[in-house]
Structure formats: C-alpha cells, structure tokens
C-alpha cells in the first residue's frame, strides 16, 4: 500500500458488505478499524416501521454520532497509523436525500454544513456495489431484528442514489468494485485481488473487475 494511503473509507448501500471488508482489511494492513454501530441509534427500528415520522430523528442521530467518531480520530491522532473505516461521512447526506422531505433536508443541511469541514478526508474510498437482489439476500441473511421491516423500494432508492453520487465523485481516489459475484469473507482469492489493487491505486477513479466476475 502506498505510504500516503493512511486512511481508507469503505462505502456502499445497505447489505453490500462494508463492515466485513473493513475488518478484513484492518487485519491485512494491521490497521486501526473504525466501525459504525447502527444498532445504537434509538430511532432506527422506529424509522423502518414508520419512515415518514422518524426519518429526521434517525438521520440527525447518525450524523452527530458519526461526527463525534470522526472527531475522536483526529483528537487522538490515530491517522498516524493506517485507519480503515466502514463508512464515509458524506453517507449521511446521501441517506438524508432519500429519507427526508424538502423542509427537513434544508434543516439537516444547515447542521451538516457546519460539521462536514471538520471531518478528515480519506486517502482512498472503496465503493462497493451489488445488484438489488444480492443486497436483499445479504440483508436477510444477517437477521438483524430492526431490518425486518425494511422496504425493497427503500433499498433500491438508496442503491440508486449511491450510484448517482459516486458517478460524480472526485474528492479523493476512488476504487469501485461490483461485489455481486464475489465473496471477500469466504474466498481468499477475492480478498487478495482487492488488496493488490489497493497497493497499486493512485489518483482518479478505477473500476475493478474481481476474479469472481471474470
């Protein structure tokens, strides 16, 4: 891995495998691993049951908790070692654009714009994609109680918004990987192929063709 790549952020829609990959890369690079804990959001289960009523509360909680987590990284100077995070701070804005109405989004943006400049930028973003059917299968397989009420339309909207966002993303080097036919957890070849790609990654955007898709 290039010496300047000290902070890797992994992104992608619900169920794509961000946390699993973050753990694997953390082990591979002997890195500090930062994982968001969605279960700590007290509004999440309510949101999946009644999105219109609880979207704003759930989104603001996520925004502030992720900001505190990122701020803690800076304060403790953890970027002196390699750090792998299973989210990019801007994910909050991506989800907010899907879940909030216009008035809520305007208020949300006022808070977001105060916080975002204080959040460190990663040296590399890995964007994981997968087909909708694959995302739904992975969500069901992890059997999280609060996800039982998740709507197919919501997962589809989130996935589509992610694709639109990263199509225009230019802020950092970006590695895009379609994970529909690969398995980083159970297939060593898939993980090693990705690690080799990370070592070679420089500037701009690259689209990886994993071994399992060839």
Q: Domain residues for 125?
A: 7-213
100 falls within a domain: yes
Q: Which residues on adjacent β-strands are paired with residue 33?
A: 84
Sign of the dihedral through C-alpha 105, 40, 32, 87: negative
**For residue 178, pLDDT beyond 50:** yes
Q: Tell me, what CATH number does 197's domain have?
A: 3.40.50.300
The whole-angstrom separation of Cα 121 and Cα 178 is 23
What is the average pLDDT value for the chain, to the nearest integer? Answer: 89
Active-site annotation holder among 27, 86, 92, 123: 86
Instruction: Note the pLDDT of residue 209.
Output: 65
pLDDT one-digit tens code per residue, 26-54: 999 999 899 988 878 999 989 988 999 99
Q: How confident is the model at residue 176 (pLDDT cuts 50, 70, 90)?
A: very high
Note the pTM of the prediction, 2 decimals: 0.91
DSSP 2: -
Is 86 catalytic? The answer is: yes
- Total tally of structural domains belonging to the chain: 1
- Higher-pLDDT residue of 38 and 183 is 183
pLDDT one-digit tens code per residue, 88-133: 999 999 999 999 999 999 999 999 999 999 998 999 999 999 999 9
154 falls within a domain: yes
The whole-angstrom separation of Cα 130 and Cα 67 is 27
Binding site for ATP: what residues are annotated? 12-20, 138-142
Helix H segments across the chain?
A: 18-28, 44-49, 51-75, 91-99, 102-115, 132-141, 152-167, 188-200
1 falls within a domain: no
pLDDT one-digit tens code per residue, 9-33: 999 999 999 999 999 999 999 998 9
CB 201 within 8 A of CB 2: yes
2 falls within a domain: no
122 falls within a domain: yes
């Amino acid at each position: 891995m290039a010496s300047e790549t000290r902070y890797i952020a992994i992104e992608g829609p619900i169920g794509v495998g961000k946390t699993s990959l973050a753990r694997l890369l953390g082990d591979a690079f002997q890195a500090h691993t930062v994982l968001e804990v969605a279960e700590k959001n007290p509004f999440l289960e309510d949101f999946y049951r009644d999105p219109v009523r609880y979207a704003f509360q759930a989104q603001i909680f996520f925004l502030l908790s992720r900001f505190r987590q990122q701020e803690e990284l800076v304060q403790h100077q953890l970027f002196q070692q390699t750090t792998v995070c299973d989210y990019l701070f801007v994910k909050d804005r991506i989800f907010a654009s899907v879940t909030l109405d216009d008035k809520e989004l305007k208020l949300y943006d006022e808070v977001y714009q105060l916080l975002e400049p204080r959040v460190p930028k990663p040296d590399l973003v890995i964007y994981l994609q997968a087909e909708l059917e694959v995302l739904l299968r992975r969500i069901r397989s992890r059997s999280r109680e609060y996800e039982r009420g998740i709507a197919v339309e919501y997962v589809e909207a989130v996935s589509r918004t992610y694709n639109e966002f990263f199509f225009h993303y230019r802020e950092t080097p970006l590695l895009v990987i379609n994970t529909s036919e690969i398995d980083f957890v159970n297939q060593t070849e898939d993980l090693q192929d990705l690690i080799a790609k990370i070592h070679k990654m420089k500037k701009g955007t690259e689209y990886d063709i994993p071994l399992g898709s060839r």
